[in-house]
Structure 1
Amino acid sequence: MFRSLRTRNYRLFAAGQVVSNTGTWMQRVAQDWLVLELAHGSGGTALGITTGLQFLPLLLFGLWGGVVADRYPKRRVLMITQVAMGVLALMLGLLAITGAAQVWHVYVLAFGLGLATVVDNPTRQSFVVEMVGKRDLPNAIALNSATFNGARLLGPAVAGVLIAAIGTGPVFLVNAASFGAVLLGLYAMRESELNGAEPVKRAKGQLREGLRYVRGRRDLVMVLVLVGFVATFGMNFQMTTALVAREVFHTGASSFGLASSMLAVGALTGALLAARRATRPRLRLLLVAALMFGVLEVATGLMPVYWAFLVLLVPTGIALMTFTTAANATMQLGVAPEMRGRVMGLYMFVFLGTNPVGAPLVGWMAEQFGPRLSIVVGGLVAVLVTLAVGLLAAPRGAAAPVLDRLRRRDGTPAARPAGGPDGSGQARAEARSEARSEARAGAAPEG
């Protein structure tokens, strides 16, 4: 289950992420609660705007973040982005502690955090394979998710207690300090043990080249469509649980933190299950996980009492993490190394950059019709888009075995997989090419 941790560089990376992600989740809870305190009667809309502004840079510039990830050494880029995010957390903490914070301050700093994330996300995602290699990539992705959601389990609970005891300001300062752990881990890595692709030289048309590459891969397009709709309308739990805790069940910050932690319990469980399996995912797994997530989200939004709402967040988190882990691995495996940054830039653009559209809409819906309806609608969208993608994918997958059986009956050789519109043949060719390259390189240590 933990085989990626045999690699020294990845151990350093994972250790830093444990600390930093805990601080990040603490800040997310504190930021939402600060906005609710400052916005008074329009909390739902303000939360939606804050979330939207934080992800707006991904919508505007997210694709260029992948170009940066392919063009420059990823370790150096990550050190710059981590410093930037730490400074932004420090500024918000000082504003909150001094009592000078206003809603527009949170808006501006959330947008600034989004700008840093534009480059950080695709760089960090594509850096994993440089640490562990392709063989252990699915395991490392799952462990990253486990680390993220372990922090998601601890961070909100600690933040809820701290907010109730001393306010939101110190929570932001703790998060600012937590970025130091990532910087230390990156600094201590052995660069000679990184399996980095040669940085792509600066040239015109690199962004268009990445888009054409993905457009020619039907399998990747299917994943992006599915992820885009589910992320836009179904994955707004950080905002909707705050509204449900405050406006439906009339609880305080500590209960909101508990709800976030229950979702994290499920997500952590789902990530560990994915790490144990850690095989190349198939579209069927994505469809089943997305469908289960949508159904469970609808059921969660309909729960009549708070304890039932909390309990159902656990299986919802399991389904969500199974889906996102499989989607991430599918996008990274089988793509050319020199294209991985741009592919992941597009993935993160779809995964997170659609929030400026979905978050304000969900926030407005929660304010006008109640938080329950916003959750239910998000689940229904996930169900419908999953069924639509399943119907589009089914004919191609279902017809192949029948055609092969007919060919065998009349003596015609079965068709060999080719690099058709779905790009599966291209993926296999790239995998064989990489395997031959690794064989020629000999038993080179990965760390």
Structure 2
Amino acid sequence: MAALAATAGGTLGAPAAAEGETPPGQVEFPTRCLAPQEAGLPPTDGPPADGPTTARITVDDPAPRVGDTVTVTYQVVRTPARNPVGGAGGGLPDDGGLPADVLTPTGRILLAGAQSGEVTVVGAKRNDPVPAGAPLPAVTMTGTFTVTAPGGITLAPGPYTLHTGHGADLDTTCTAVGGPASDPSAAPVSVRLTATGLPTANLRSVFLAAARGRPGAGVRVTAAGFPPGVAVTVAGRAGAAQTADRVSATADDLGTAVVELPVTDPTTTAVVAYEGAAWSARQGSGPAAYTVVDAAPPASAIQKVSATVEPGALGMTQAGRDITLGTVPYGDGGAAPGRIGTVTVTDARGGPAGWSLTGKATVFAGPGGIRIPGASLSWTPSCVAAPGSRSPCTPGSAGVVGPEGALLASAPDGPLVGGAFTIDATVTLHVPPYTPPGTYTAVLTLTLS
């Protein structure tokens, strides 16, 4: 569980164009700019300003991942719109000139492809003086959007409004014209992004009701974490090879299949579960240790003396429960750092099966229903095996945790594994700029299998 206050962002410049070349993301399209009625130029009294708009869209990340926030910049390099107050009268300045810093631009960028919708962009009130009847100057507007789907996403310039506030509040609205028959107001595509999905962890697992049995005895097996409705194969394994002991079942609505597996092969040392034609690390569970007990009686009066080392369990403990992240200044945004409570994993099963520790985070809920995606939380894991442990400990990759889950640490399969392992991770929440102040809370769940 984590608590924090607001966050960050930045824009990377697009590559510069060589002299004489069109800069990346720059397009030109026919535009109609309607003069504001307050200026004394309603459509019935004065024609709209028609002409080309030269626009450019740039992004700070052309290859984002689902859950990332992308900053977009919409530049109107040239517009047919003109100073709307020239000769207006009606309480407006007599000379019709606009002074500096009275022009505020707003606009929309149109998304299509894997993700559709609009991005609202706003510019600062910043301009040089504009004489009466002169063209309005170039403007720059920025905004952000969150990537919600993987695949190709196109960005095209949408309508833009040039608001002047000198003597009267006037809005000159410009819209593309002459596009395809299906949408005459469509402007050319300016930028194309390719979004990738978040990596997902394999949460499949298998549990045995007993860790040993006589040849031919059945063992109750529970396979969990599979897609609902998928065919699940439960099979015996001798080392890395699969034995003839095998049954199949269909996962229920919770992704669980419960079967009785007769173990007849005396070489069986473990049981696995998987979907598809064969076991794989991506679509199968790690093996659960199983021992076939020799039931043959003594062949002579010689007594057999044996001692049994009882296998233990796989478990974990964690120091502390809550994670308090660092604060982030309002407006600037940024990274809120923290650290999870230290986790200790103990593997006393004495078999060939390794283990994995995964985590996943819910959305961060804040005041007034404001939410920060769980995919904004990332971590950098570390893992140390205690002296004498039979297994090495491998930390998961640094990256996004999110609602889909990520690997925190793992130990591989081997002839005989086990030990004690200390696992830590630094965590960072990337908070968007101008996130409302307050405390944002999510739940981080760790699962050992």
Q: TM-score, normalised by structure 2?
A: 0.21
Q: TM-score, normalised by structure 1?
A: 0.21
Q: Which has the larger radius of gyration?
A: 2
Greater RCO structure (CA 8 Å; 6+ sep): 1
| Bigger share in helix | 1
